Amino acid sequence: MADQGAAFQEQVEEAFLASQATVDLNTFFVITSAIFVLIMQAGFCMLTAGSVRARNARGIILKNLMDACVAAIMYFLTGWGVAGLLVGDANSFIGTSQYTLNGLDASALYNWFFQYAFAAAACTIVSGALAERASFVAYLLYSVYIIGFVYPVVTHWIWSPSGWASAFRSELADGTYKSLLFGSGAIDFAGSGAVHMVGGVAACAGAALLGPRLGRYDANGKPIPIPGHNVALAVLGTFLLWVGWYGFNPGSALGIVNGFSTTVARVCVTTTLAGASGGLMTLFTHVLIQYKVSGNVTWDVMVAANGALAGLVSITAPCATVTPYAAIIIGIIGAWVYLGGSYLNSHILKIDDPVDAIAVHGWAGMWGVLAAGLFSTEAYVAEVYGTVPGTEDGVRKYGGFYGGGGSLFAAQIVYMLSVVAWVGGMMGIFFGILKFAGILRVTPEVEAAGCDASHYGGSAYHGVGGEAGIVMPTAKAMGKGDASSTDGEELEKLR
Amino acid sequence: MADPATAFQEQVEEAFLASQATVDLNTFFVITSAIFVLIMQAGFCMLTAGSVRARNARGIILKNLMDACVAAIMYFLTGWGVAGLLVGDANSFIGTSQYTLNGLDASALYNWFFQYAFAAAACTIVSGALAERATFVAYLLYSVYIIGFVYPVVTHWIWSPSGWASAFRSELADGTYKSLLFGSGAIDFAGSGAVHMVGGVAACAGAALLGPRLGRYDANGKPIPIPGHNVALAVLGTFLLWVGWYGFNPGSALGIVNGFSTTVARVCVTTTLAGASGGLMTLFTHVLIQYKVSGNVTWDVMVAANGALAGLVSVTAPCATITPYAAIIIGIIGAWVYLGGSYLNSHILRIDDPVDAIAVHGWAGMWGVLAAGLFSTEAYVAEVYGTVPGTEDGVRKYGGFYGGGGSLFAAQIVYMLSVVAWVGGMMGIFFAILKFAGILRVTPEVEAAGCDASHYGGSAYHGVGGEAGIVMPTAKAMGKGDASSTDG
Amino acid sequence: MADQGAAFQEQVEEAFLASQATVDLNTFFVITSAIFVLIMQAGFCMLTAGSVRARNARGIILKNLMDACVAAIMYFLTGWGVAGLLVGDANSFIGTSQYTLNGLDASALYNWFFQYAFAAAACTIVSGALAERASFVAYLLYSVYIIGFVYPVVTHWIWSPSGWASAFRSELADGTYKSLLFGSGAIDFAGSGAVHMVGGVAACAGAALLGPRLGRYDANGKPIPIPGHNVALAVLGTFLLWVGWYGFNPGSALGIVNGFSTTVARVCVTTTLAGASGGLMTLFTHVLIQYKVSGNVTWDVMVAANGALAGLVSITAPCATVTPYAAIIIGIIGAWVYLGGSYLNSHILKIDDPVDAIAVHGWAGMWGVLAAGLFSTEAYVAEVYGTVPGTEDGVRKYGGFYGGGGSLFAAQIVYMLSVVAWVGGMMGIFFGILKFAGILRVTPEVEAAGCDASHYGGSAYHGVGGEAGIVMPTAKAMGKGDASSTDGEELEKLR
């Protein structure tokens, strides 16, 4: 009788998992996650706006708004096709079908929405690094290019069943399976590499080719801080990003019914702990360094905010396959990687990054990819990725620190270097061409006056002061209005 | 062997859909959607606050906060009853039962919460259009009136099984069905008409009767731009609205288990594409016009933000019944409708709308309602609305562009015009009475000084400058303090 | 045949509720709720930042960001163990196992994430009350202490099956049950007491021991208003808190599948109505009082915002067990409790609370706990709490106003007083020690200049004016830089 009951229970569970209701509910989960991820657009916008000077706020806000728009159109036109995330028989490098969602099953459409949110995030990461000097047209072209082509290629590598670095290789027509990279495939659960490193490396290429802002380095090449104009907005953005991360990381399970909830819950916990330890460790380390160097102790919220984000970036690849303890360690090391990367960028490489996006997303993203190769436990890798199909034992490779050998770590390194090479190369060429064409950067006059006055319809803060008389007079001197409404042309005539 | 297994599978699925768990899960979906919609309250507040001058920010923020409160109380007391969304035997014009939720089944209570979020959104649309000159008392009375009566009547028409324009007419006691408008009923999936047009038309009536702000038009009647004081807040608001739209549109499926997920996913996609194309097309069109007129090229984020919102408004009615391609086209046309409407309002009709709410929600809302009559495909209309009950073939009318004939489009036009007439009439009379009573608008002295100093407890930005010395001296000259705490 | 169908239906439903899918879906619900609760972190940060003067914004923003971080680490290390929310055999006062999540079942891990979000909220309530004068180190120590120890003890009392005040006492080894407090146990569904009163009472202890800000009282002891610098941020915070409350209150059902949806929907409705009536009634009452006193009519949004929050706090304990009508009444009385409490604090007790946190969370929280003892209906208490286990009739005590007798109300009073005594005592001693050690408050010089210039790396609004020339000159006079980036130390050297 008990056996009968158990058998019936099993049959019902099986039937439920095969039902439309399960599809509906997993769709619900993924869509809800996507909405949380889209909160990150508001977050990036506020973080970046608050981190630049008031005279450039309006332009950077426009760029953030527009790349959410461009991302939608381009990810519809080409991005989804290039990514080929649901296509098992594409080549290993790039997807070649389902452009404009042609041939995508209606019941799988929700995946586009989730991936759109990721594409928009990857794109927006760069806006801050190019802030205060890149032209709007250059930024728009960049958005089109990265979302339509560069970014989805990387996601194809790692998340498509056809991708060369993917841990999800699919069955071939003859019943065999493509082999996994180093017998393992790389682990990048939610995109430390595919999203954050892509953004970070692109930011590095762009910022390096743009050159530093006027006044960023003194005659001896020492960096002079250029603080942002609104810490409240910047930290609001940080909080919104943090919230959005709970769509980003747990949502990457791409479903909840079917026993995924254990994984999803663990991802929430590891994400939280890594972000928290990243924030705390960055703040304390910064204070310590500062004290050693100057004898001062000041608690800098912008450093802490970037540290929390670096912790979150670091955990994005390994979030599903590590323990809570490991998450804390990953966050702590992420904090140091961020501080080191930031110093390296600003003091050694002399790349000017107004929001430290390269250090937060690029350097910490690299660390996240590596960390997945070190800290992933055997049990969690098996839980999340299942057995290796087409092999005899099906045993997954796991983290080196847990005795899993070097295969996974090797796969992570190859994947990481490939992302650096691909994005660095493709974006370096692209920004190089824009620079050569003379449309990458605004003129020094415009930059000195702030871009808003002449390019973006006037100050973001009309009628509430300004920056020591710089913005408005210069704007007038250049014969441009500062009106912001659709009536701008009217004002011109009145003058 | 396969057959018994399939039969068992079917039986289990059927049993599941009839279970309490399905009710629970659909409730979960609708409540989650409602919470996202409520993020729009923060969005409207930030958008409006950033779009006015600093001297009026505090008052407009209060209005936004208060209409979230008034919406809750009024939609509880009368709104839900007037809307009668779950009542099949009410008359075609207005709901007449379930006031204060009396007689509403506990398992259907979640619907109130979702509809409350919509009511609050419809109400808040208007705040920006009346900004910088309407009195607080007038605005409060407006909130009570529109949420308690004017808005829910429209939702009754279109979303109640009793409503005359509804595509969901219910069975009568004798087993027959009421006939649908033009054999079709109007399609307004998430409320381009019922929410956005209601807000936009009410905004138009209010702004027209209020008259323009001091200094909005020069001696020749040419509009002079009055830029808002904080673009960062305004675009934060835009983003929060955009996020909220993903509760608004997909949530209007009112459930997810039962195969609705395909519809919900499509709605997410069409909503995204229309908003995006609206934003891009508005920006580029604006730059082009500006370049033709003045030779300048400036990229204006406020125009782009309003354009994205116009795209979102446009797709709100047709979001469930169109293809992604059509969504892009609807967003693009929505962009032009917005720009044209904005020009019409400010230059021809000379209605002063500080946030362009009339163009974004009113004009683009109209376009959205019409678009549903043109672009809705046969398959999607059938998927979302099912067959027409009580008819022989049950075939639904669909969009004119897809060969569906003119019935649906006719229904959309009649519905659209009815909303304009009803809201325009009811709100016109209402605002006129307030105007006649002399409580609609603040005095010119108060307006010139900014309303915050004298009416709202001082500047929103105490101690951080001010506007070229205007706010504080005037406030002092009027003998009012600028203290903000309860110790004032 | 119909009977057979009904029997099959029942069997399937039973099987579904016993399935992993139900666990998955309840996890999904709780995690989604937790994410909404975490939006409150952004809300508290904006509310507090907007409510202080510009010269102290940067410091308070850091405190808000850091307690989200500290909460994660401390609730992981000790908090969850002390709370012992899933442990039935702990003692009645404090949990004693599952530290660092040891021994917590993976399928229950999602509970930690939800409870972390609550812990962070409880902690952050206090930041505003101590604003503009508490030192950063003191605040950090406070965060560690309250999240690691003081707050989880209270949640153990009320929400653990072992807690002395809990309405969920569990079965003992011998099959009997521990008796409920007054045969009832206290009702605190989402934490008017366990979260808001804890925050409010701790705020009171801290603010009282800190003493008022410079200039808060004139020579005659009359309070002088010190308005915040940004109402837009403050009300943004209020809206974000309101949204977060829809994770806080409905999420406390801790599940949705299993017929909980009726309760969850009711909680959404009562929460909405209490917040709304609180906001409206506070505004109108304030205007009326003001008119009586001074003849002026000014509509103050900060008062209304605090009133809405007070309404929301008031309904947090009784939200699941009261009717919509009762919710409106509870909100209205909450409005008056808030206004009275605020007057009492500022005029009689002369406790300086920059954001009125003590009145909003402390006083209205007390009212919420009491209201649950008065307004809870028989049917809803039975629906939410079930029958009393181990008793003959199993009938639950309910609200005094509905003829339920005084047992529940008595339990509420005892619970409420215990929270006041525990938190007041533990935090009073703690803040007393910090004061004695001289690390509780910044120096008068720093306070007069604003803490940001000297302690937090400069103004939150670099380059966009300042406060009547106060911030910058003083900062310079003190020989401190106002740079905000990691290059701060570099600037020092340059000077």
Dump pLDDT digits (tens) for B282-317: 999 999 999 999 998 999 999 999 999 999 999 999
> Does residue C276 have a pLDDT over 70?
yes
Q: How many residues does chain C have?
A: 495
Residue-wise pLDDT tens digits, A9-61: 999 999 999 999 999 999 999 999 999 999 999 999 999 999 999 999 999 99
Check B9 against A15: CB less than 8 A apart.
yes
Which chain C residue has its CA at the smallest distance from A248's CA? C35
Residue A377: band (very low, low, confident or very high) from pLDDT cuts 50, 70, 90: very high
Q: Which of A11-15, A487-491, C186-190, C331-335 has the lowest mean pLDDT?
A: A487-491
Selection from A466-470, B477-481, C284-288 with the highest mean pLDDT: C284-288
- Which chain A residues are within 8 Å of B280, Cβ to Cβ? 66, 69-70, 73
DSSP secondary structure code for residue A466 in this structure: -
Per-residue pLDDT tens over the stretch B75-120: 999 999 999 999 887 889 999 999 999 999 999 999 999 999 999 9
pLDDT given at position A90: 81
CA distance B99 to B488: 39
Please give the average per-residue pLDDT across C55-78, as a whole number.
Answer: 96
Share of chain B above pLDDT 90, in %: 86
Contact C232 B41 (CB under 8 A): no
CA of A237 to nearest chain B CA: how many angstroms apart? Answer: 10
The more confidently predicted of residues B200 and C389 is B200
Report pLDDT digits (tens) over C353-367: 999 999 999 999 999
Give the tens place of pLDDT for each residue, B362-386: 999 999 999 999 999 999 999 999 9
pLDDT value, residue B359? 98
Q: What distance in Å separates the CA atoms of residue C159 and residue C179, rounded to the nearest whole number?
A: 15
**Which chain A residues contact residue B299 at CB under 8 A?**
59, 62, 136, 455-457
Q: What percent of chain C has pLDDT over 70?
A: 92
Nearest chain A residue to C115, by CA: A269
Provide the pLDDT for residue B91: 87
C20: pLDDT strictly greater than 60:
yes
Interface contacts (B, C; CB < 8 Å): 231
For residue range B143-158, list pLDDT tens digits in order: 999 999 999 999 999 9
Banded pLDDT at A72 (limits 50, 70, 90): very high
Contacts of B11 in chain C (CB under 8 A): 8, 12
pLDDT at A490: 38
Q: Which residue of A has its CA nearest to C45?
A: A236
Bridge partners of A441, per DSSP, are A134
Instruction: Give A466's pLDDT tier (boundaries 50, 70, 90).
Output: very low
Q: SS3 helix, strand, coil % of chain C, rounded to 5?
A: 65, 0, 30
Helix, coil or strand: residue B223:
strand
**Cβ separation A486–B343 shorter than 8 A:** yes
Residue to substitute from C239, C285, C467, interface B, most B β-carbons within 10 A: C239
Which of A20, A39, A109 faces B266 most closely, judged by CB atoms? Answer: A109
Given a cut of 50, whether residue C490 has pLDDT beyond it is no
> Is the CB of C12 less than 8 angstroms away from the CB of A12?
yes
Whether C35 has a pLDDT exceeding 90, the answer reads yes
| CA–CA separation, C215 and A327 (whole Å) | 46
Supply the angle between the helices B231-251 and B301-316 in degrees, to the nearest 10. Answer: 10
State the pLDDT confidence band at A173, using cuts at 50, 70 and 90: low
Helix axes C324-343, C261-294, angle to 10 degrees: 40
- Residue B168's pLDDT is 85
Is the pLDDT at B476 greater than 70? The verdict is: no
Provide the pLDDT for residue B487: 34
Q: Is the predicted pLDDT of residue A191 greater than 50, yes or no? A: yes
Mean pLDDT rounded to a whole number for chain C: 91
Taking contacts as CB-CB distances below 8 angstroms, the residues of chain C near A296 are 480, 488-489, 492
Angle, helices A57-74/A110-129, rounded to nearest 10 degrees: 150
- Interchain pair B299, A483: CB under 8 A: no
Please choose, from the candidates B283, B284, B328, B281, the residue with its C-alpha nearest in 3D space to the C-alpha of residue B303: B283
The residue of chain B nearest to residue A51, with distances taken between CA atoms, is B232
Other Cβ atoms within 10 Å of B436 Cβ, number: 10
Locate the chain A residue with the closest alpha carbon to B9: A15
- Which residues in chain C have Cβ-Cβ distances shorter than 8 Å to B102? none
Among C11, C58, C136, beta carbon nearest to A231:
C58
Partners for C (CB, 8 Å, 3+ pairs)? A, B
Question: What integer pLDDT is reported at residue C281 of this predicted model?
Answer: 98
Could you tell me the pLDDT band of residue A2, with boundaries at 50, 70 and 90? Answer: low
Chain B residues closer than 8 Å to A494 by CB: 218, 222, 224
Q: Neighbouring chains of B at 3+ CB pairs within 8 Å? A: A, C
Contacts of A465 in chain B (CB under 8 A): 465
The confidence band for C495, taking pLDDT boundaries of 50, 70 and 90, is: very low
Residue B87 contacts residue B162 (beta carbons within 8 Å):
yes
Residue A113 with chain B: CB contacts under 8 Å: 265, 268-269, 272
Lowest mean pLDDT, pick from A363-372, A408-417, C151-160, C168-177? C168-177
Distance from CA of B112 to the nearest CA of C (A): 8
**What's the whole-model pTM score?**
0.94
Predicted-assembly ipTM surpassing the 0.85 threshold: yes
Average pLDDT value for residue range C174-186: 84
Tell whether the model's pLDDT for residue A189 goes beyond 60: yes
Whether residue B449 contacts residue B478, with contact meaning beta carbons closer than 8 Å, is answered with: yes
pLDDT at residue A3 in the model: 74
- Residue C46 binned pLDDT confidence (cut-offs 50, 70, 90): very high
Q: How far is the alpha carbon of A235 from chain B, nearest alpha carbon, in Å?
A: 13
CB contact under 8 A, B19 and C36: no
Phi/psi at C129 (5° precision): -65, -30
Looking at residue A494, its pLDDT comes to 39
C236 contacts on A by Cβ (under 8 Å): 236
CA distance A388 to chain B (A): 30
CB nearest B269 (choices: A46, A70, A112): A112
**Residues of B whose CB is below 8 A from C238:** 65
